[in-house]
Chain A
Amino acid sequence: MLLPHAQTLAHARSYVAALADHALTIEASSAYERVLLELDRVHGDDCPALNTDDLTDDRDILLAVASSDIGDLENYGVDPLSVELILAMLVDAQGLDIG
């Protein structure tokens, strides 16, 4: 894994983790956690650490940044179908969060 890939992945993981922490219900938090786990699984659990410092509390911004970062992973050789599936999981999780 090269540096730009690691940076994008770390960014994506941090934002999804923040979404899980700010979710209103445990079910939604668990759904975001599944997204995070799927990201890790796709990378064979070879992922950089989270960096949750100075992240916004606004869930819309968090979601937008997370989606965009996950979409960017396609540029680093991650299977596009996996990326689409992760994005779909993220949308489902958001659906649970909104209620």
Chain B
Amino acid sequence: MYGENGAQMRTELAALLRQHRVMHRLAADSPTERAEVGQEILRYRRTLLTWCAQAIRVAQPLTFPNIPQKPADPFRATSDHGAAMSELVRALELARDQATTTAASSTALATPSLNDVVEHWRLAARAAALAEHDTAPDLAVHLTASQARTIAGDVAAISQALVVLDRRYRNTPGWESLAGCDRLGWAALATALDVSLGQPDFSVDQTGWRPRTKPIRGPAKPGVLGVLQAEHNLLVRLKSIPNAMNLRLIVDSQRLLTSQLVPYAERVDLDLAEQWRARAATYSRIQRELRNVGGRLGNGAGATAEASNAVSRMKALPAGAVIEPRMLGGFQTLFRRIDERISDVLEAGVERGAFVQRVTVPRLVSGEGRLVQPVRERFVPVTRPADLEVIRTARKHLRPRAEPAVASPGASRVDLHAALIHRPPKKGAQSDVPGL
């Protein structure tokens, strides 16, 4: 996820910016050792630069200049398109291409270092390498203009940090300064100012690569945890579309599980108990409406088994058990996702013709000259999903409403901005806090 990797980069760079006398931190007194450590840092810096150049390229097409639009000829391309941003792209690409040191290898990125300074650089570089996943062009097609502005702001802050650190490490033996360092610093500043004119959208932190969700294997966990485990596994197994009968079993399990959880929730959180009561009622309704839906396409045997596990483990729970709020929250999160997935399954099943509607026998075919008259039609495909009552219920009651995402800049951004202008405390300065 971009939020995690971006925060890691910023945290490590902020820590580096707070270290002022770096020379003695690199190695005790040996210039050769200092040169070696310097080369290691240069490799990590190259990885950071590579990410910065890639990310700003991804954000650039979506960042528009904040200057008022002229009544321009729409057939002519605007040349002053995000001037500060273009300059930052140019400066970053120059710095990356002119660096003679190679980027750090994956072995180097994964091997911890004993030196504190190098370790901060390594962690920042590792986060940058991982962030290449998050800002890869194929994921970036979903970016909005405000999200792109946030990425541009982040790249500007990180570039500024690299410029400050470059100056600080200049005396290291064999150090290679950033090409066009001053220009990069000014371009980063101009981009940061340009970004601050608009409204950045920090929901970009939630985007990017995520590891695949896997089922929790192994024996059943004791108590409520076992129910949570089965419910989680049910959600994972619901990835494949179940057939109509298995879907009915899954819906039944959710109705039972929710109604059995209500008394436990009532002791801790009344609002949640009320929500779950409504959920049980919705599932009862869906169960009723699914009786006239058939279809043999799909499987869902794994999901059905997990659903049954959840119900049987719930039944085995002692009546006096207390479910703590954190676990109730876990159930609520899983319930939301399962509701959403079941809504998707219903819609997709009807759309693909996997679920058909049972109808009352319309007529018997007579006069075909056959001895036995078979029943004519018992299933009809659904022409429009909304014609089916169960789909209307799922849309209206089951599908959870989108929760407004609270996107804040996060502590790491504030911390890096503060670290950029950090000054070392004066020698002999009295601390406000009395010493012990």
Interface residues of A (CB under 8 A from B): 1-3, 6, 13, 17, 20-21, 26-27, 29-30, 33-34, 36-37, 40-41, 44-51
Contact = CB atoms under 8 A, between A and B. Distances in A.
A44 B373 CA distance: 21
Given A26-B259, A45-B244, A1 B291 contact: no
Task: Give the interface size class of chain B.
Answer: 20 to 34
A39 to B, nearest CB: 11
B292 A30 contact: no
Interface stretch (B72-80, B83-91, B356-364, B411-419): B356-364
Nearest to A6: B375
Nearest to B378: A48
A50 B185 CA distance: 74
B194 to A, nearest CB: 59
Contact of A30 (B252, B294, B372): B252
B136 interface: no
B248 A37 contact: yes
Contacts of A3: 361, 364, 373, 375
A99 B280 CA distance: 21
B400 to A, nearest CB: 21
Contacts of A27: 256
Contacts of A34: 252
Interface string B246-268: 00110010011001000000000
A30 B291 contact: no
Interface of B: 243-245, 248-249, 252, 255-256, 259, 280, 284, 287-288, 291-292, 294-296, 357-361, 364, 372-375, 378
B370 to A, nearest CB: 12
Q: What are the nearest 3 A-B pairs in CB distance?
A: A49-B358, A26-B259, A6-B375
24 contacts: A1-B374, A3-B373, A3-B375, A6-B361, A6-B375, A13-B291, A17-B291, A21-B288, A26-B259, A29-B284, A33-B248, A37-B249, A40-B294, A44-B296, A45-B245, A45-B294, A45-B295, A46-B294, A46-B378, A49-B357, A49-B358, A49-B360, A50-B291, A51-B360
Nearest to B311: A30
Nearest to A33: B252
B288 A2 contact: no
Contacts of A46: 294, 378
Contacts of A21: 288
Contacts of B359: 49
A2 B284 CA distance: 32
Interface centre among A1, A13, A48 (most CB of B within 10 A): A48
Nearest to B379: A46
B280 A26 contact: yes
A51 B248 CA distance: 19
Contacts of B361: 3, 6, 48
Nearest to A40: B245
A33 B375 contact: no
B358 A48 contact: yes
B150 to A, nearest CB: 47
* Residue with the highest number of chain B CB atoms closer than 10 Å, among A6, A17, A49: A49
B261 to A, nearest CB: 12
A20 B284 CA distance: 10
Contact of B256 (A6, A30, A44, A47): A30
Contacts of B291: 13, 17, 36, 50
Given A36-B291, A45-B244, 15 more contacts: A1-B375, A3-B361, A17-B291, A20-B288, A26-B255, A26-B259, A26-B284, A30-B252, A30-B256, A45-B294, A46-B378, A47-B294, A47-B358, A47-B378, A51-B360
Contacts of B259: 26
B245 A41 contact: yes
B294 A37 contact: no
